[in-house]
Structure 1
Amino acid sequence: MPLMVLITQIVLPVLLLIWLAWFPAVGLLALGLQVLSVGAVLLGIGQAALWTMPPFWVPYLYYSVFVLIVAWHLFRGRFSGSGFWRAGGGATILILMAFGLGCIGVYMASLAYQGRALPPVETVDIDPPFGPGTYLVAHGGSTDMVNVHLKTLGPAVERFRPWRGQSRALDIFRISSAGLHKSGWEPSDPAR
Structure 2
Amino acid sequence: MIAVVLLFQVAIPLAILAWLWLYPANSMAGLAIQAAGTGAFLFALARVAQWALPVWWLPWVYGAVWLAGVVFTLTIRPGFGGFAPWPSGGWAWASAAISAVLLGLGGWFGAQALAGRTPPPVPVVEIANPFGAGHFLVASGGSHQLVNAHMRTLDESVERFRPWRGQSYAVDFFGLGPWGFRARGWRPAATAAYAIFGAPLVAPCAGTVVAAENDRPDFEVPREDPVNRLGNHVILRCGDAEIVLAHMRQGSVKVRPGDKVANGDPLGEVGNSGASTEPHLHIHAQRPAAEGAPPISGDPLALAIDGRFLVRGDHLWGRAE
Global fold match (TM > 0.5): yes
Matches within 5 A, 1:173-192: 173-192=174-193
Q: 1:84 deviation in Å?
A: 2.2
The code of the aligned residue for 2:74 comes to: L
d(CA) in 2 for partners of 1:101, 1:122: 37
d(CA) in 2 for partners of 1:104, 1:62: 18
d(CA) in 2 for partners of 1:168, 1:27: 46
Q: Which residue of 1 aligns with 2:141?
A: 140
Query: By percentage of residues, which structure has more helix?
Result: 1
d(CA) in 1 for partners of 2:87, 2:139: 44
d(CA) in 1 for partners of 2:43, 2:133: 31
Q: 1:133 deviation in Å?
A: 1.4
Structure 2 residue 116 is matched with structure 1 residue 115: yes
The code of the aligned residue for 2:183 comes to: K
Q: Which residue of 1 aligns with 2:216?
A: none
Q: Which residue of 1 aligns with 2:106?
A: 105
Q: Which residue of 2 aligns with 1:25?
A: 25
Q: 1:77 deviation in Å?
A: 6.0
Higher relative contact order (CA 8 A, sep 6+): 1
Report which of the two structures shows the higher radius of gyration computed on alpha carbons.
2
Q: 1:157 deviation in Å?
A: 2.0
The code of the aligned residue for 2:167 comes to: Q
Matches within 5 A, 1:55-74: 55-74=55-74
Q: 1:183 deviation in Å?
A: 1.6
The code of the aligned residue for 2:16 comes to: L
Structure 2 residue 43 is matched with structure 1 residue 43: yes
Q: Which residue of 2 aligns with 1:169?
A: 170
8 A Cα contact 2:87 2:93, kept in partner: no
Q: Which residue of 1 aligns with 2:290?
A: none
Q: 1:87 deviation in Å?
A: 4.5
8 A Cα contact 2:25 2:95, kept in partner: no
Q: Give CA-to-partner distance per residue, 1:32-77, whole Å, 9 cap, x none.
A: 1111110111111111111111211111111111111111011136
The code of the aligned residue for 1:17 comes to: L
Bigger Cα displacement from structure 2, 98-107 vs 157-166: 157-166
d(CA) in 1 for partners of 2:87, 2:131: 58
Q: What TM-score comes out, normalization by structure 2 length? A: 0.56
* Shift in CA distance, 191/98, structure 1 to aligned 2, threshold 3 Å: farther
Structure 2 residue 53 is matched with structure 1 residue 53: yes
* Shift in CA distance, 95/5, structure 1 to aligned 2, threshold 3 Å: farther
d(CA) in 1 for partners of 2:167, 2:79: 52
Matched-pair identity in %: 39
Query: By percentage of residues, which structure has more strand?
Result: 2
The code of the aligned residue for 1:63 comes to: G
Q: 1:95 deviation in Å?
A: 3.1
Q: What TM-score comes out, normalization by structure 1 length? A: 0.91
The code of the aligned residue for 1:32 comes to: A
Q: 1:132 deviation in Å?
A: 1.4
d(CA) in 2 for partners of 1:48, 1:94: 25
**Is there any run of 5+ residues in structure 2 with no aligned partner, and where?**
194-321
